[in-house]
Amino acid sequence: MFWTNHSPCTKSRNQYMSAIFYHGTKQKIMAEESRDTLQKEIARPIQTKILPASVFYNAENYHQKYMLRQHAEVLDKLNLSDEDILTSHVAARLNGYLGGFGSLEQFDQECNTFGLLENQLSFVRKQIQKRQKN
């Protein structure tokens, strides 16, 4: 899933780089093997770095749940602080749907757990349908 959801061949500045951070030799080997398998399938060199995990810093708040933040009418209803957005399951799920991940059927199966009004759920459904057409 990691390799198919971004461009591993794009070289970026550190804050936007493609990277896999590992915790131990087994994870490092798995990451390297998956990279090497993909490299055999594509011509451009993979730029993704494979590095030991160390201190992790969260991105600035405006980067957190970025797709959800583009839709204040939905985000405001959740009444979450910036800190809560980091850990909210609902924010994560909605961010994914608004970002084009997940089907309308999956959304409909869980949407009643989000605590949104019907007009907000309808808005998210329309966004999912737009993304599925593209």
Write out pLDDT tens, residues 48-61: 999 999 998 888 99
Mean pLDDT over the full length of the chain: 93
Q: Do residues 98 and 127 touch, judged by C-beta distance below 8 A?
A: yes
Q: Does residue 15 have a pLDDT over 80?
A: no
Q: Please give the pLDDT value at position 17.
A: 87
The residues that bridge with 19 in the sheet, in sequence order, are 49
Q: Please give the pLDDT value at position 14.
A: 81
Residue listed under structure tokens 């019907």: 118
Contact partners, residue 17, CB within 8 Å, separation at least 6? 11, 47, 48, 49
Residues in the chain: 134
Q: Please give the pLDDT value at position 39.
A: 97
Q: Please give the pLDDT value at position 49.
A: 95
Q: Please give the pLDDT value at position 83.
A: 92
Q: Does residue 134 have a pLDDT over 80?
A: no
pTM of structure: 0.72
The pLDDT-based confidence of 12 (bands split at 50, 70, 90) is confident
Write out pLDDT tens, residues 83-104: 999 999 999 999 999 998 899 9
Q: Please give the pLDDT value at position 131.
A: 85
